[in-house]
């Protein structure tokens, strides 16, 4: 995955800007994260989130490489430009396929969340503000058929895909976000509209969202075809399995 650039999240110093290089080294030593690249496998992911837990809320997460700030990812060569007349399509096993502009989305019942965002590579941003429309709301609007048990997502970057079962959608309260970090979703963060899946690793939160297709078959998403688990709960299970 290409790291295009970093952007200031709401929290913490970064290793480059911070005033405590000794602290940084100590933290990296404690965590054993100094040489960490991309981690594969559920146990590795759980290990990372467990390692980061003691740092949450202390501001020290900002001392982990990339911690406390978003890193902007794209699997293509840059940030794709939205089509001039951008509309989000909801189709598949529905009574009435719909196409929604950002204004249409903003006119639907809004859900506001404050929740962290974490990537399997180890960075976490605490307390990010998100606003959008729940996927359950969009399914209702389009008249999802009872036999539709899976949401499939695609991006106008032409490459990235994701998938969630209706159970995962309901448990997570996933939203189609048109606002994050206190403003419209920026181009780098996947604007005009991205997914946000609370409780799941960041790779589920597909950027530059173009189409939501209701289906009955789980088709692995982009990173899942490359070895990431389809079930991406940060704590290993959804809230209802507690």
Q: Which residues bind ligand MTE (CB under 6 A)?
A: 1, 70-75, 119, 155, 157, 160, 189-190, 202-203, 205-208
**Closest distance to ligand MTE from the beta carbon of 154 (Å):** 9
CA–CA dist 55, 58 (Å, integer) = 6
Q: Specify the residue, 5 or 240, whose C-beta has the smaller distance to Mo ion.
A: 5
Which of ligand MTE, Mo ion, none lies near 75, with the C-beta cut-off 5 to 8 A by kind?
ligand MTE
Beta bridge partners of 72: 5
Q: Are strands 124-134 and 111-118 parallel, antiparallel or unpaired?
A: antiparallel
> Dihedral (C-alpha) 53, 59, 65, 69: value to the nearest 10 degrees?
100
Q: Specify the residue, 26 or 44, whose C-beta has the smaller distance to ligand MTE.
A: 44
Which of ligand MTE, Mo ion, none lies near 189, with the C-beta cut-off 5 to 8 A by kind?
ligand MTE
Tokens for 107?
Answer: 């006119």
214 touches 139 (CB < 8 A): yes
Q: Specify the residue, 155 or 163, whose C-beta has the smaller distance to ligand MTE.
A: 155
Within the chain, how many helices (H) and strands (E) appear? 5, 12
Which of Mo ion, ligand MTE, none lies near 14, with the C-beta cut-off 5 to 8 A by kind?
none
The binding site for Mo ion (CB under 5 A) comprises: 119, 202-203
């Amino acid at each position: 995955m290409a790291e295009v650039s970093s952007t200031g999240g709401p929290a913490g110093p970064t290793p480059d800007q911070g005033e405590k290089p000794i602290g940084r080294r100590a933290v990296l030593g404690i965590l054993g994260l100094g040489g960490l690249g991309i981690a594969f496998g559920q146990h590795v992911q759980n290990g990372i989130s467990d390692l980061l837990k003691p740092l949450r809320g202390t501001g020290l997460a900002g001392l982990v490489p990339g911690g406390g700030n978003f890193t902007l990812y794209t699997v293509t060569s840059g940030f794709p430009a939205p089509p001039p007349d951008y509309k989000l399509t909801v189709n598949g096993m529905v009574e009435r396929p719909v196409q929604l502009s950002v204004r249409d989305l903003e006119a639907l019942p809004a859900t506001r969340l404050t929740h962290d965002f974490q990537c399997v590579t180890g960075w976490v941003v605490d307390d990010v503000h998100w606003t959008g429309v729940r996927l359950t709301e969009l399914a209702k609007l389009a008249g999802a058929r009872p036999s539709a048990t899976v949401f499939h997502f695609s991006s106008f970057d032409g490459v990235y895909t994701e998938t969630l079962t209706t159970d995962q959608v309901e448990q997570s309260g996933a939203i189609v976000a048109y606002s994050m970090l206190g403003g419209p979703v920026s181009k780098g963060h996947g604007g005009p509209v991205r997914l946000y899946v609370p409780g799941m690793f960041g790779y589920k939160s597909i950027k530059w969202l173009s189409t939501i297709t209701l289906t009955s078959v789980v088709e692995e998403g982009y990173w899942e075809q490359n070895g990431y688990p389809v079930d991406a709960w940060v704590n290993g299970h959804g809230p209802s399995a507690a």
